[in-house]
Amino acid sequence: MYGLKFQKIRKEDYRFGGSTQILESMSMPSANWSSYIPKFESQAGLYFDTWACVSFSAANVIETKLTRLYKNNLLHKTDKEWLEKKGYVENCEINLSDRFIAKMSGTQVGVGNTGQDVGQAIREHGLVPESAWPFPNAQRTPIFTDRDYYSEIPEDIKALGKEFLEHFGIMYEVVYRNDWDDALRYSPLQIFVYAWKEKNDIYYSPAFKKQNHAVMKFSTENTIYDHYQPEMKTLEEDFNYYQYGFKYSLTYQLATNMRLVKLANEKTVYFIDEKGYRRAFYDAQHFAKVAPILGLAKNGTDFSQVQTIEKEEMENLKLGRPLFLSQ
């Protein structure tokens, strides 16, 4: 079934790596987002297929990015509390309504949609939680049909989508194949494939078949995240992807940048100040005295707020002077 259409790249479309590239900080130096992938949700119900692969894959990308921000306490307190209050958070993960995106973007059964139309709909109408406009894909009584899925959305739910945009701005940009590895350090990607031909658990590209499905690429490995099971699919080395995909960017209020970090196999703890500089403590006594004052520890032996980060991320932090506390 699937549901992918294509339209030509327009002059107004932002392009990663070009003069219209959206400025965004590098948030995943390892280019591996596997720790934040959302729970599986199928685009097919018991009685029909939604043809909304473009909406599902776009939602997966944004959910992955928001879940990383939420789990690492990188969101401003007001935004984090708003997400929780409005039902966007389930089991410490962000869960968005794919159905809302599909309807607002004009997706149709038997037709599908384009990456640009889905991206533009998200920019204009925002996003709502799954709980606000769910897809009961296993419902038998009464039968949940494609007409139910694409029924008109109540105005209060549309208003919630607009309210989301007051907290988070969303942009999308075209990413050509040669730039995927670089772009993955900033975001998972929505990419386009031919679905599906498989041999010995490896999916391959049949000759003369055009791409017809949208999925999420979350690392530089040959594994993608799908909304048909098995959700994790390993693709052949020379798989024939479409020439470009899409990257989503979020604008949001950061929580205070002050935090404590360390590497996995090292004991040294660094303080990251509000300008993003990595600053060392002189010794354990210095940490015990300063960290509680900064609000980053309850006492001198509290290391609960120390985040373990990857070596690449540590190296990207600018080195500042050792932390000094005036008497």
Taking only the tens place, the pLDDT of each residue in 93-104 is 999 999 999 999
One DSSP character per residue, 181-227 reads: HHHTTT--EEEEE---EEETTEEE--TT----EEEEE-SSSSEEE-S
- The per-residue pLDDT for 257 is 63
- The per-residue pLDDT for 276 is 76
Per residue in 110-130, pLDDT tens? 999 999 999 999 999 999 999
Q: Are 188 and 61 in contact (CB under 8 A)?
A: yes
Residues 233 and 224: their CA atoms lie apart, in Å, by: 6
- The per-residue pLDDT for 256 is 59
- The per-residue pLDDT for 326 is 37
Residues 322 and 308: their CA atoms lie apart, in Å, by: 20
- The per-residue pLDDT for 186 is 92
- The per-residue pLDDT for 253 is 63
The token duo for 299 is 């006492």
Q: In what order do the strands lie in the sheet with 202-204?
A: 169-176, 244-251, 189-193, 213-217, 223-225, 232-235, 202-204, 197-199
- The per-residue pLDDT for 325 is 43
Taking each helix axis from N to C terminus, what angle separates 155-167 and 77-85, rounded to the nearest 10 degrees? 160
- Which comes out higher in pLDDT, residue 198 or 258? 198
- Which comes out higher in pLDDT, residue 290 or 199? 199
Per residue in 274-327, pLDDT tens? 677 888 887 888 888 777 766 677 777 878 888 888 888 888 888 887 765 433
The reported pTM is 0.79
The token duo for 23 is 């400025």
Per residue in 143-163, pLDDT tens? 999 999 999 999 999 999 999
- The per-residue pLDDT for 28 is 87
Residues 255 and 290: their CA atoms lie apart, in Å, by: 20
